[in-house]
Amino acid sequence: MEKLDRPKKFQCRYLPNSRPNAKTFRPCPGFKIYRNVEGLPAEKFSENGNEIAWGTIGNASTSEGHFWETLNAAGVMQVPMVLSVWDDEYGISVHAKHQTTKENISEIVKGFQRDEENKGYEIIVVNGWDYVALIEAYEKAEKIARREHCPVLIHVVELTQPQGHSTSGSHERYKNEQRLSWEREYDCNVKFRKWILENNISTDEELQNIEKEIKREVREGKKKAWNKYAEPTKAKQKELLVVLSKLAKNTEKKDTVVKLAKDLNANKEPLKKDLAVAARKTLRAIRKENSEEKSQLLNWLKEFEKDMANDYNSHLYIESNGIQTEVLPEYDEDSAEVDGRIILRDNFDQIFGNIPETLIFGEDTGEIGDVNQGLEGLQKKYGKLRVADVGIREATILGQGIGMAMRGLRPIAEIQYLDYVMYAIQGMSDDLATLQYRTKGKQKAPLIIRTRGHRLEGIWHSGSQMGGILNLVRGMYVLVPRNMTKAAGFYNTLLKQDTPALLVECLNGYRLKEKKPSNLADLRTPIGKVETIREGSDITLVSYGSTLRIVTQTAEELSEYGINAEVIDIQSLLPFDLDHDIVKSVEKTNRLLVIDEDVPGGASAYILDKVLNEQNAWRYLDSKPQTLTAKEHRPAYGTDGDYFSKPSAEDIFEKVYSIFNEVNPEEYPAIR
């Protein structure tokens, strides 16, 4: 590419061998999907893929892993994006010499620069204070990214930081006078103003008048914005003061109420919190009284808190918070017993055949049809864009999925094992799980994350880190089907709604035989609903996933010793038992044991909290509710490692038996 023809001081630099072509940035190859996959409703989301992605990051944040993973992923996929690195030589107070090799990100990413033989990046370096160079650099970057589907990195250097990183700090604390003097001279606004005058675009007098007018507009805009925000609160303040005034005339705590009302009235810029505090402290003071005025205050607070819940606590999930409609599997007379993976494969086949927006991508997903053959032959049938292999890079697998889902597609992002979801957990927690909440339902990303875990023999491939996941991804569904028929039903259900989900298939279930349903396309597993898979009267055993098979087996063994256990499959951890069926079981059995292969205090603690505190099952218990979990460490290697690390049939039997030993030691004498 030829150098731009302008004075040297206004040039932006292109790294050698160039030719035409918030912390987490999401490279979205959805543009290519819209360009190349037929049958998509592109008119709603895209101009047939004629678009590019824009990303931005500070120079210090390029030290983090997400940046490098994104940089590599976008280069491999040739994502049409323009990624800006804004460089003021500092990361808050820490200089670039502590952040970046050579103190220069564009220097150390030269290996990504494309050349005549290899695809890669176009890399542009431009001074942040140079108005003309910036315009030309971004115009050039836009054309390259859009026309050639080549990613472009723009390193914007020589930027200034006119204020501290936050209101609690000042850049003057860590910059010397020489640096501060340079920043005053090279401030972007100062340089822009000078460029306007040098090019006779305006006069100094005109600019002074513009600057005065801008300051006036900003002050007025600030005042107008604040008033618009504050007026509803002030209106509620007046309402509450009227209620408190009436109450003060008919209460034994008149002095307290009058003081609270006086303090509230004196607050000329009240926050909503101030109103709630006044109302709740008043109710605290008059807690022993009953009057019409107290009822009015209670009603006011109830409506106010309802409004606040809508403002601050709504839209974490879709409003229905789960789907209760269930379509059970149907079987023909000749329905065969097949490997569980066949049910998954054939269900994905009908999904991709019926829903053009769907696609799946991940580690070993494409050519070999995933490591467990749940996608066998589907890449050949649906093409490499819809059933795609990607590199081992979990954070950007997640990022691709978020971007695609926000662009109207229905992606399924496959992360090979639950253990490696940990590499994507930040994006799941910070970005995906919060999207609908932080936009109050205005944005959504119905991404399905497919993975597998539990009960395999190996420290890195048998993870059950559910407690950590559950507490980090509120805003997503977490589904734990016990077999592949249930998993197929969950996929079908999720594609009918818009909440993102993590679906964990049983890692040891792909070769277990299941009867193949004849109604795969119609199959639905309800979200947020448990299933009782064994009726019983003496104790409620609650579990999920692979461990559930061991629980069911043990329940049959317990029956031989006179203990009739009811076994419940949770199925859905988020949301959890929306119909409160577990407490109905406990009301019948009066005893509860939660069995889980997570560490102590992990998912079992979450489940117990839901059942005892939310469903109030404690009212029906005749024995202490207990949990049986894995050991605190990761599972050791081999079959023996699994046996001695996670709950075994013998562990479950002895735990249940010990509960009945405490109840009736004569009938159930101690085993050991």
What the block records as the tokens of 378 is 């589907």
For the chain, the first-to-last Cα distance in angstroms comes to 81
| Cβ-based neighbour number of residue 328 at 10 Å | 12
Helices (H) and strands (E) in the chain, counts: 23, 21
Collapsed DSSP state (helix, strand, coil) of residue 338:
strand
| CA distance linking residue 368 with residue 43, whole number of Å | 34
C-alpha span between 575 and 112 (Å, rounded)? 44
Active-site residue identified among 171, 461, 580, 633: 461
- From the number of C-beta atoms within 10 Å of its C-beta (0-12, 13-18, 19+), residue 421 rates as buried
Among 294, 292, 232, 290, smallest CA distance to 257 is for 294
Q: What angle do CA 646, 568, 489 make, to 5 degrees?
A: 95
98 is catalytic: no
Distance CA 369, CA 41 (A): 27
Q: How far is CA 563 from the centre of its chain?
A: 42
For residues 50 and 59, give the distance between their C-alpha atoms in angstroms, rounded to a whole number. 29
**Tell me, what amino acid is at 451?**
T
Longest dimension (CA), the chain: 103
List the one residue out of 525, 527, 617 whose CA is nearest residue 573. Answer: 527
Tell me the DSSP string of 167-195. Answer: TT--GGGTS-HHHHHHHHHH-HHHHHHHH
Q: How many residues does the chain have?
A: 672
Angle between helices 484-494 and 340-354 (to 10 degrees): 20
Would you please indicate which residues are annotated as catalytic (active-site) residues? 461
